[in-house]
């Protein structure tokens, strides 16, 4: 049985995890504010009222010292504050922080009211869901949703980030859940502004602080000992799974190992499903859809279950470089098992969170996000095996067709993104969606290459793949209206389409008697028009003959020389180019600056031979792969 040693910090009195034995010392301090989940819903007058959407200017909270913890450099009156700043905060509650339950709005606003109601001459109560650091860190991100150019300006947002950082030392004297979340928000902020090192630093601090505070430990014994309340235990549980989920998202984003807490080795249960939380209504008037329950805790439960599977995907894919031929047999078995787990997860999604043709037009953002993450898991799992033949497994009677699964996942992501765009606009999204849309784009790159790698061009498939890839670029630019990193991602994907993919396609088609315009336009920043394929770029019918004297081996040699095969090495040694395993973005596309942070890399793109190679291995009388 796992026993954890707990010491109550002298300065704070909260539980800190130290080892593998269990002991309690000290008493909980009287100064700690013990708000319960129920309290947040009972008295609307004890909650900060936002002066947005026609609120009464004579609200009972007008004397609240609302600017106490905000930077004085940002000078605003109360109505300006709520119109430009807290309207953006309201949008962030609805579209960004709701997924993974990073913030529960009633708890945040309740604690904010309590902290700001105390005169400046008195020390405010310590509140678990609000702190000056969390307030400013959250605003450094939320203001990108503001319609006010001054509030949205990167310089203004930086002021809030700097103010949050200035609170760090004081917050560490009394650490709690609000510190964990504030550090995570700062990590996301610096990721967006392209400062990868600082972003990794702050998010790493958040993850490590969750370990130190024991958020990943089942706290039933603490409740029994009277150290914390039952509601506090539930809040710790929720915070743990929130940070765990973001850890998984970051690992998926960069194709790196999972660095967070190994939850499956602990006894902490999956996040609680609270009917009261789930009855918090979700409504966004411009979407013109009915008000409906948010199901925020149910969504966290299901997303956490999905991210436990995603963590297994990370482990499998990131070890492909090190796998021997013998180990690859085990890899295939693991891929099949995980594929079955994903399908099993999908089959058990509760009706409240399912998306069907009938309810798609009324989907909440976090419900759309949940399904986007599901399809993204399929892409990460199967894309490294894109060039492998479909095969049966001893664990399943069905064939694993990696190409078909990647294609289906990418197409579903496009449909979900289109739904999001039509309901809310892609300006209002969490940052994770750009990673998912980018992942779909990499699949369409591979499908376009596959369509021209055959001896006979698959024109319909090529036209469709290019149109879908251009839609991905357009969607990324739309997301980039708020997230700077989405614009950078769109620029890089457009550069791959324009400078790498189209020249290869043009040469192949020209050699096979079917020319394509290599300089065809691609979407650019700010475009909003539909991105339909230009039929003039492709011949209407498949070519019936190749150019005289065309030789597949010459095509292979010429194409591959453009991608500098000598550069395909890693710290583990040369990469097996025929295996379809991950390659680093820097070597696959050396002309791109892949150093920007929060840009999904090409590490897991796989199938490099599709760029210029034909699979001509006909051993065992098998036909060519393409």
Distant-in-sequence, close-in-space partners of 107: CB < 8 Å, separation ≥ 6: 35, 37, 40, 129
Q: Where are the extended beta strands (E) located within 260-344?
A: 281-282, 292-293
Candidates 63, 173, 61; CA nearest to 119 is: 63
Q: Is 455 exposed, middle or buried (0-12, 13-18, 19+ CB in 10 A)?
A: exposed
Q: Is pLDDT at 7 greater than 70 in this prediction?
A: no
Q: What's the pLDDT tens digit per position in 500-556?
A: 888 888 888 887 766 554 444 555 554 443 333 333 333 333 333 333 333 333 433
Domain extents in the chain: 35-293, 319-621
Per the model's pLDDT, the better-predicted residue between 421 and 52 turns out to be: 421
Distant-in-sequence, close-in-space partners of 442: CB < 8 Å, separation ≥ 6: 379, 383, 602, 605
Say how far apart CA 560 and CA 35 lie, in whole Å: 64
420 with 368: CB under 8 angstroms? yes
Predicted pLDDT of residue 591: 32
Q: What's the pLDDT tens digit per position in 311-366?
A: 999 888 877 766 666 767 788 888 999 999 999 999 999 999 999 999 999 999 99
Predicted pLDDT of residue 271: 84
Per the model's pLDDT, the better-predicted residue between 427 and 85 turns out to be: 427
CB contact burial 507-519 (16+ within 10 A = b; e otherwise): bbbebbebebebe
Mean pLDDT of 302-316: 92
pLDDT band at 78, cuts 50/70/90? low
Lowest mean pLDDT across 90-99, 295-304, 394-403: 394-403
343 with 405: CB under 8 angstroms? no
Q: What's the pLDDT tens digit per position in 212-257?
A: 888 888 888 888 888 888 888 888 888 999 999 999 988 887 667 7
Say how far apart CA 563 and CA 41 lie, in whole Å: 60
* CA distances (Å), origin 40, targets 37, 178, 231: 6, 16, 12
Lowest mean pLDDT across 9-23, 84-98, 234-248, 477-491: 9-23
Q: Is 326 exposed, middle or buried (0-12, 13-18, 19+ CB in 10 A)?
A: exposed
- What 8-state DSSP symbol labels residue 536? G
Angle between helices 296-318 and 230-254 (to 10 degrees): 40
Predicted pLDDT of residue 127: 84
Distant-in-sequence, close-in-space partners of 115: CB < 8 Å, separation ≥ 6: 124, 125, 127, 130, 131
Lowest mean pLDDT across 72-81, 103-112, 237-246, 268-277: 72-81
Predicted pLDDT of residue 523: 59
Q: Is 568 exposed, middle or buried (0-12, 13-18, 19+ CB in 10 A)?
A: middle
Predicted pLDDT of residue 477: 97
Predicted pLDDT of residue 560: 31
Mean pLDDT of 462-466: 94
Q: What's the pLDDT tens digit per position in 167-211?
A: 999 999 888 899 999 999 999 999 999 888 899 899 999 999 998
Mean pLDDT of 469-485: 96
Structure tokens at 619: 């051993």
Q: Is pLDDT at 456 greater than 50 in this prediction?
A: yes
Per the model's pLDDT, the better-predicted residue between 471 and 225 turns out to be: 471
Lowest mean pLDDT across 7-11, 60-64, 100-104, 282-286: 7-11
Structure tokens at 443: 């699949």
Candidates 144, 141, 145, 162; CA nearest to 70 is: 162
Say how far apart CA 171 and CA 9 lie, in whole Å: 14
* Three-state secondary structure string covering 65-120: CCCCCCCCCCCCCHHHHHHHHHHHHHHHHHHCCCHHHCCCHHHHHHHHHHHHCCCC
């Amino acid at each position: 049985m796992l026993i954890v040693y707990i010491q109550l910090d002298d300065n704070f009195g909260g539980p800190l995890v130290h080892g593998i034995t269990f002991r309690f010392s000290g008493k909980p301090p009287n100064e700690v504010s013990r708000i319960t989940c129920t309290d947040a819903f009972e008295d609307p007058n004890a909650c900060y009222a936002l002066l947005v959407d026609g609120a009464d200017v004579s609200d009972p909270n007008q004397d609240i010292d609302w600017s106490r913890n905000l930077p004085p450099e940002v000078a605003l009156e109360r109505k300006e504050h709520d119109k430009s700043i807290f309207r953006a905060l309201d949008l962030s509650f609805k579209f960004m922080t709701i997924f993974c339950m990073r913030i529960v709005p009633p708890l945040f606003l309740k604690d904010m009211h309590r902290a700001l109601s105390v005169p400046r001459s008195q020390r405010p109560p310590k509140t678990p869901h609000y702190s000056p650091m969390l307030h400013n860190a959250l605003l450094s991100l939320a203001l990108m949703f503001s319609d006010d150019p001054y509030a949205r300006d990167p310089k203004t947002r930086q002021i809030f980030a700097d103010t949050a950082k200035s609170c760090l030392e004081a917050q560490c004297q009394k650490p709690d859940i609000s510190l964990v979340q504030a550090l995570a928000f700062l990590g996301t902020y610096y990721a967006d502004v392209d400062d990868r090192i600082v972003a990794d630093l702050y998010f790493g601090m958040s993850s490590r602080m969750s370990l130190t505070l024991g958020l990943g430990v089942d706290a039933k014994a603490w409740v029994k000992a009277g150290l914390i309340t039952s509601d506090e235990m539930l809040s710790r549980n929720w915070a743990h799974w929130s940070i765990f989920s973001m850890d998984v998202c970051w690992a998926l984003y960069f194709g790196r190992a999972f660095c967070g807490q190994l939850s499956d080795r602990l006894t902490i249960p999956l996040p609680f499903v609270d009917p009261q939380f789930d009855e918090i209504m979700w409504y966004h008037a411009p979407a013109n859809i009915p008000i409906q329950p948010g199901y925020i805790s149910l969504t966290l439960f299901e997303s956490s279950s999905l991210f436990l599977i995603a963590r297994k995907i990370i482990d499998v894919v990131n070890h492909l470089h090190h796998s021997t031929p013998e180990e690859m047999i085990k890899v295939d078995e693991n891929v099949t098992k995980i594929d079955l787990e994903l399908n099993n997860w999908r089959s058990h999604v509760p009706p409240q969170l399912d998306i069907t043709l009938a309810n798609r037009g009324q989907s909440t953002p976090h419900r759309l996000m949940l399904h986007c993450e599901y399809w993204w898991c399929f892409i990460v799992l199967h894309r490294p095996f894109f060039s492998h033949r479909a095969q049966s497994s001893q664990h399943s009677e069905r064939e694993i067709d990696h190409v078909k699964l990647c294609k289906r996942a990418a197409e579903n992501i496009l449909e979900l993104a289109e739904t999001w765009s039509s309901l809310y606009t892609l300006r209002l999204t969490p940052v994770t969606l750009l990673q998912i849309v980018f992942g779909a784009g990499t699949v369409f790159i591979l499908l376009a290459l596959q369509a021209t790698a055959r001896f006979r061009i698959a024109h319909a498939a090529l036209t469709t793949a290019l149109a879908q890839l251009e839609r991905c670029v357009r969607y990324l630019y739309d997301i980039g209206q708020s997230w700077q990193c989405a614009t950078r991602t769109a620029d890089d994907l457009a550069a791959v389409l324009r400078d790498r993919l189209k020249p290869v396609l043009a040469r192949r088609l020209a050699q096979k008697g079917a020319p394509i315009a290599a300089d065809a336009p691609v979407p650019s920043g700010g475009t909003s028009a539909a991105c339909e394929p230009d039929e003039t770029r492709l011949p209407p019918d498949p070519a019936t003959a190749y150019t005289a004297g065309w030789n597949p081996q010459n095509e292979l040699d010429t194409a591959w020389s453009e991608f500098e095969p000598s550069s395909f090495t890693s710290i583990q040694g040369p990469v097996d180019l025929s295996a379809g395993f991950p390659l680093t973005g820097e070597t696959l596309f050396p002309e791109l600056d892949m150093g920007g942070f929060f840009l999904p890399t090409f590490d897991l793109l796989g199938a490099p031979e599709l760029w210029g190679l034909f699979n001509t291995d006909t051993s065992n009388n098998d036909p060519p792969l393409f």
